Structure formats: C-alpha cells, structure tokens
Amino acid sequence: MTRKKVLFLCTGNYYRSRFAEIVLNHFSTLSNSEWRALSRGLKANNPANVGKISPHTLVELNKLNIPIPYLLDIPRKVSQKEFEGADKIIALKEEEHKPIIEKNFEKWAKKVEYWDIDDVDVESPKKVMPGLYLKIVGLANELGIHSGDLTAILRQTVAVGVR
C-alpha cells in the first residue's frame, strides 16, 4: 500500500500538532488507511517545553483512550523534504503560522490549509482540544479514514468537553 502523508505544523511541535498527529494516526491504524500523519514545528527548541510532548496533549489522549506511541520523538523543526513528501499540509493557526511559512517556505505557502486552533498561551486546553479533536474527525472523514462509529465519536467528544 502506498502511503499518503498529512503534515501537521505548529510552532513548537509539542502540543497541538502532536495531538493531531497521534489522533489521525490512531484513526488510520484502526481503519487500515493509507494515510499517515507527521507533525513538525516551524521553530525549534523552546526551552519552556519540558519533555517530548505537552502534558496537556497526554491528558487529552488519555481521556480519549488513544494509546500514546511507545517511541515518542522529540519535537522537531520541519524540513523542506517533509514539505515535499506531504500530500496534505495543515498549519494549526493561520494568524500565527502563515507569516512564518511565507517567509521561510514561500514555495509551499499556497498549498497549506490553515486551521484556527489557538496555542496554550492564548486559550486553555480545556477550550482548545475539543475543537481540535472535531477538526481531526472532519479531516479523517474527508480523507476517507474511518474514525469510528458515531456513538464512539460522540462519547469521545464528550470526554474532551464538547457540549
């Protein structure tokens, strides 16, 4: 099976993009889809980030009963090669990420789909994560990835706080 790739971009590759990558890959694995997700940051090495992944991301994945990959990679900065290898590119916050992409990856700027998902310094994870989860479910459906039965999705949506 030829793999297709979604590249999720955020600033530090620590919180939002990691959640999106893990959730979409979970759906892809369950449905034996050809799609896989990869996440990267537009900036590297924020010393304020402790560990390989945000504790907020881990909490939300646990609420959803989505397994955390055993071998988590450290946050990584996106490369030109990763842009080239992506079939779909999503930056998680247009206002935050578009200027960086236009400056550093001008060739790819028009191929990026922008979402409106705030970082933790702007909005609390309690408010952000339900919307991000629903965007990922919508993306999974758009890509033909079976993201679970409707009852399970509704249960998971309630688990992350969507009302």
pLDDT, tens digit, 9 for 90 and up, residues 126-157? 999 999 999 999 999 999 997 665 456 555 55
Mean pLDDT of the residues in the chain? 88
Q: What pLDDT does 58 receive?
A: 93
Q: What is the mean pLDDT of residues 69-87?
A: 91
CA distance 76 to 99: 19
Domain carrying residue 22 = 4-159
Torsion sign (Cα): 38, 42, 43, 49? negative
What's the whole-model pTM score? 0.89
Any idea what the CATH number is for the domain that residue 63 is in?
Answer: 3.40.50.2300
pLDDT at residue 99 is higher than 90? yes
Q: Which tokens is 43 given?
A: 């900036």
Q: Give residue 159's pLDDT band: very low, low, confident or very high (50, 70, 90).
A: low
Q: Distance between CA 40 and CA 163 in Å, rounded?
A: 30
Helix (H) / strand (E) containing 35: strand 35-41
Structurally, the chain folds into a number of domains equal to: 1
State percent of the chain over pLDDT 70: 87
3 vs 85: CA distance, rounded Å: 10
Distance separating the N- and C-terminal Cα atoms of the chain: 38
